[in-house]
């Protein structure tokens, strides 16, 4: 069944302590607390360095049974190597060997974020998209090609599951119908990225799920979303979740022609400055729950005692 999930981009922020996180909550229990407020969170640490199977196991065990993580791909691949040579093969293998498959059924979309200095190159991006494993069997086979930079690889067999990939770009040259065609051919999601920065914005549906990142309204990563904006986002998410499109979508390519009864939607608030993300996420969840677009959302906020 298609589901709309609204969550947070990361959870470990010093400014959240004593505000969103109650005074007295120890840092190691912050994920347990946050995951009782939202049904999904992006893991950002994987973007900056390889994580360990022990960390992924801890994150898995500290969250509710139906929780979903999005995992951010390494910037070593997207910002430095940019998938240009054989080093990228090994680095990709290292990423999949590092433990994210340890999340099991809690592993959601993998986010690949490219920098503003990287323009669209159709051939290069086609090669990159062909490289990405489409399911956990392919990812595990890829992981076996890791090198010694992965000290403790996770190479355990697991039930075969599809892997979902989403691409966030920040160079205007990607506002190109050819890029949308590439994403559709490889069944990869275009990230709808809302920000005050001059990043490309479009609402094209390129696969059977949507991925959104809401980066703030006043500054990059700051500024609470007004009620009117959240009302509009709730309408859009409900339309996408129902397999439709919002009124007057901002599209670069043609409308998706395949009719579906519903789509999974993942929406992450990244306006973490001044502790706005968790509250905006809850406000959007409340709107979705009120109109029946996201059934089963738990509006109960846990106490420290409940997660201690």
Query: What CATH number has the domain bearing residue 256?
Result: 3.20.20.410
Alpha-carbon span 67 to 6, nearest angstrom: 11
pLDDT of residue 256: 77
**Cα distance between residue 40 and residue 33, in whole Å:** 12
If one counts the domains in the chain, the total is 1
The predicted pLDDT at position 150 comes to 95
CA distance 190 to 300: 32
Residue 289 tokens, joined: 């729950």
pLDDT tens digits, 54-106: 999 999 999 999 999 999 999 998 988 877 778 889 999 999 999 999 999 99
Span of 116-125, 188-197, 229-238, 269-278 with lowest mean pLDDT: 269-278
Residue 300 carries which DSSP code? P
The two tokens of residue 288 are: 């979705």
Whether the predicted pLDDT of 216 surpasses 90: no
pLDDT value at 295 more than 50: no
Domain span at residue 213 reads 4-307
What pLDDT does 2 receive? Answer: 80
For tokens 């190691």, the residue is: 28
Grade residue 223 by pLDDT with cuts at 50, 70 and 90.
confident
pLDDT higher than threshold 90 for residue 253? no
Q: What is the mean pLDDT of the chain?
A: 91
- What pLDDT, on a 0 to 100 scale, did the predictor assign at position 135? 97
What is the average pLDDT across 108-130? 95
pLDDT of residue 181: 96
CA dist 139 and 152 (Å) reads 16
Of 45-59, 185-199, 202-216, 288-302, least confident by mean pLDDT is 288-302
> What are the tokens at 58?
């801890």
Helix (H) or strand (E) holding 20: none
- Output the CA angle 269-273-274, nearest 5 degrees: 110
Q: Is the pTM for the entire model greater than 0.95?
A: no
**CB distance 107 to 43 below 8 Å:** no
CB atoms within 10 A of CB 120: 18
What's the confidence (pLDDT) of residue 305? Answer: 46
pLDDT band at 294 (very low <50, low <70, confident <90, very high): low
Q: What average pLDDT score do residues 138-156 get?
A: 96
For residue range 154-176, list pLDDT tens digits in order.
999 999 999 999 999 999 999 99
């Amino acid at each position: 069944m298609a589901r709309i999930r609204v969550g947070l981009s990361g959870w470990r922020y010093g400014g959240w302590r004593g505000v969103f996180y109650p005074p007295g909550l120890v840092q190691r229990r912050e994920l347990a607390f946050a995951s009782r407020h939202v049904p999904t969170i992006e893991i950002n640490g994987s973007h900056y360095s390889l994580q360990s199977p022990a960390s992924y196991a801890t994150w898995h065990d500290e969250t509710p049974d139906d929780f979903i993580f999005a995992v951010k791909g390494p910037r070593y691949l997207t910002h430095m190597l940019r998938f240009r040579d054989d080093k990228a093969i090994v680095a990709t293998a290292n990423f999949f060997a590092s433990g994210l498959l340890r999340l099991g059924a809690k592993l959601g979309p993998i986010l690949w974020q490219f920098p503003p200095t990287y323009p669209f190159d159709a051939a290069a991006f086609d090669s990159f998209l062909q490289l990405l494993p489409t399911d956990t069997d392919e990812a595990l086979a890829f992981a076996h090609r890791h090198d010694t930079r992965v000290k403790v690889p996770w190479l355990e067999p697991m039930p075969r599951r599809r892997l979902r990939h989403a691409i966030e770009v920040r160079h205007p040259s990607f506002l190109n119908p050819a890029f949308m065609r590439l994403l559709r051919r490889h069944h990869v999601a275009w990230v709808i990225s809302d920000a005050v920065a001059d990043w490309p914005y479009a609402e094209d549906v390129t696969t059977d799920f949507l991925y959104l990142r809401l980066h703030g309204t006043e500054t990059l990563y700051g500024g609470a979303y007004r009620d009117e904006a959240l009302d509009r986002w709730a309408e859009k998410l409900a339309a996408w979740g129902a397999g439709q499109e919002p009124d007057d979508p901002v599209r670069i390519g043609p409308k998706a022609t395949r009719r579906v009864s519903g789509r999974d939607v993942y929406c992450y608030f990244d306006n973490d400055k001044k502790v706005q993300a968790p509250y905006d996420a809850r406000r959007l969840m409340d709107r979705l729950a009120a109109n029946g677009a996201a059934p089963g959302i738990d509006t109960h906020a846990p106490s420290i005692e409940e997660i201690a």
